[in-house]
Amino acid sequence: MAGGGRKGDGTQAYAGPFHPAYSLARPGSIRSVRRGRRRLLPAVPAGTGSVQNGAVPETRLCFVHAADFHLGRAFRGLAAAAPDLAPILRRATRRALHRAVDAARIRKAEFMVIAGDLFDADDRSVADLLAARDAFASLGRVPVLIACGNHDPASEVCEIIRWPPNVFFFPAGEPGVLRIEREGDVIARVAGLSHGRRAERENLARRLAAAGEADVAVLHANVGGLAGEDEYAPCALDDLIACPVAYVALGHAHRRAILRPERPAIAYAGPPQATSFAEAGPQGILWVEIEPGAPPRIEFLPADAVRFADESVSIDGLSTIDELRDRMAERARALSDACRRDGVEAAVVRWTIEGSGTLHAALERDGPVADLLDALRAAAPADPILWTDSIASRTRAGFDLERLAARHDLCGKLVRIARAAADDPSLREEIEAALAPLRQAVRGEVDVPDWRTLLPEALALAIERLGPPEGPADA
């Protein structure tokens, strides 16, 4: 450990930076840090001592919960397609980190927790490491507590830079507990556990629960076998409920989610910056407030610099391409306004044209969709930049489904089956089972819609291919 001197009260004054990956002297240790002056307590096994003896007063806590920054991760394919976006894309993940740090400073957070994958091990650079160091140093005395994840396990945390003294990495193997002081009083106890390797298969939540009583627990884990996420540090929700804390700060899932609102509240912050359409929509961090006797209050704060957006527009009631273009331009302006309010520098939009009507035949021909793409790109707002990535036409010819459902041929049977799926769990299970191999094959690359979206499209395609029958319904 970096140096320090023994004080008269038996504690050790800390004089150097905490070493990455084992900044909590040893697994199962408890440390204390003061918001003004920090001190290092002698190592105490987690789950013993003053953490459980009721001497620590309860008080209102406010902190930032972030995860999955993936500093260094590339936006592959986009920079070439949108050259104006290239400089914004290059700094997007770092910009999201700075926005998170700014939120902690402006809102006067007691501390900031990062629940894994601060870095992307395959893509990170020295510049990413230095950017993180400088961002955290700008917080001064506000502690930054980091639990390593599968993309930046403790065994691979870079040792070539000196982290500022307010940065702490939780150990791997056994949990560590950090006590945060304000004016001599311990105001928070934060327990955490890092991944020791990339493919962590152990249930780390059970180890974390054994750390003893705390206010906040920090972990990178897959809770309940999340679809589309790697099975690293798998655990059940009950394993986390067993943690004697008020709040569990999770990382790993790239979807923001509050798994449990009451104590212990359990939440995924999601990624502060999306890097593909699989993470479309606003992304950011969570602001958490804990008060004695009440469920934690959790507020989402946008932190993304580049936003991916899936927008859909219907041709229902439209008769000309000009009307469709105007409708899309109106939606684009609304998206641009929302991004501006959230401090987003650029948005990348993927459009889907849907619905049914007279425009379907025109959109099926070569030319109109490409022309719409060119028109939207030419008229795109510049502040923030709004780049149209693609336009997909999923329109349908107008069918009289009531009439088709009454028929006694194959078309009628298909319509009746599609309608029955909404009320028949077994049919929905069959559809989802058929989609499962596709979801697995394109995991993380393509966002496969659910059955509610796909079924009407599949039905319309089948009717078009079969050809809508003519004649009386009982033919």
Q: What's the token pair of residue 176?
A: 């560590």
Residue 43, pLDDT above cutoff 60: no
Of 304 and 15, which is predicted with more confidence? 304
Is residue 254, in this structure, part of any structural domain at all?
yes
Is residue 341, in this structure, part of any structural domain at all?
yes
Please provide the average confidence, as pLDDT, over all residues in the chain. 80
Of 406 and 464, which is predicted with more confidence? 406
Cis peptide before 244 (omega within 30 of 0): no
Q: Are both 289 and 348 inside the same structural domain?
A: no
Q: Are both 177 and 267 inside the same structural domain?
A: yes
Is residue 1, in this structure, part of any structural domain at all?
no
Q: Are both 311 and 279 inside the same structural domain?
A: no
Q: Are both 264 and 331 inside the same structural domain?
A: no
Residue 473, pLDDT above cutoff 60: no
Is residue 4, in this structure, part of any structural domain at all?
no
Percent of the chain scoring above 70 in pLDDT: 81
pLDDT digits (tens, 9 = 90+) for 316-331: 889 899 999 999 999 9
Q: Are both 345 and 287 inside the same structural domain?
A: no
Q: Are both 373 and 421 inside the same structural domain?
A: no
User: Are residues 33 and 181 in contact, defined by beta-carbon separation less than 8 angstroms?
Assistant: yes
β-strand pairing of 247-251 with 216-220: parallel
Cα torsion 439, 443, 449, 450 to 10°: value is 50
Residue 372 confidence (pLDDT): 92
From 369, 398, 427, give the residue that closes a domain.
Answer: 398
Of 23 and 282, which is predicted with more confidence? 282
Residue 54 confidence (pLDDT): 28
For residue 97, give the amino acid letter: L
Closest of 333, 343, 354, 351 to residue 388, by C-alpha: 351
Q: Are both 253 and 335 inside the same structural domain?
A: no
pLDDT category, 461, cuts 50, 70, 90? confident
Number of domains in the chain: 3
User: Are residues 349 and 335 in contact, defined by beta-carbon separation less than 8 angstroms?
Assistant: yes
Is residue 7, in this structure, part of any structural domain at all?
no
pLDDT digits (tens, 9 = 90+) for 341-398: 999 999 999 999 998 888 988 898 888 899 999 988 888 888 898 999 999 998 887 7
Q: Are both 152 and 292 inside the same structural domain?
A: yes
Residue 120 confidence (pLDDT): 83
How far apart are the C-alpha atoms of 152 and 70, rounded to whole Å?
9
Is residue 317, in this structure, part of any structural domain at all?
yes
Q: Are both 279 and 237 inside the same structural domain?
A: yes
DSSP element (H, E) containing 347 = strand 346-354
Q: Are both 254 and 319 inside the same structural domain?
A: no
Average confidence (pLDDT) over 185-203: 86
Residue with token string 């393509």: 446
From 376, 398, 420, give the residue that closes a domain.
Answer: 398
pLDDT digits (tens, 9 = 90+) for 305-319: 999 999 999 998 898
Give the residue numbers spanning the domain of 377.
305-398
DSSP conformation class of 102: H
Q: For 362-391, give one letter per residue: b (16+ CB within 10 A) or e.
A: bbeeeebbeebeeebeeebeeebbbbbbeb
Is residue 6, in this structure, part of any structural domain at all?
no
Is residue 431, in this structure, part of any structural domain at all?
yes
From 398, 428, 449, give the residue that closes a domain.
Answer: 398
pTM over 0.85: no
Of 181 and 145, which is predicted with more confidence? 145
Residue 114, pLDDT above cutoff 70: yes
Q: Are both 250 and 316 inside the same structural domain?
A: no
Q: Are both 390 and 424 inside the same structural domain?
A: no
Rg (CA), the chain: 26
pLDDT digits (tens, 9 = 90+) for 237-294: 999 999 999 999 999 888 999 999 999 999 999 999 998 888 999 999 999 999 988 8
pLDDT category, 159, cuts 50, 70, 90? low
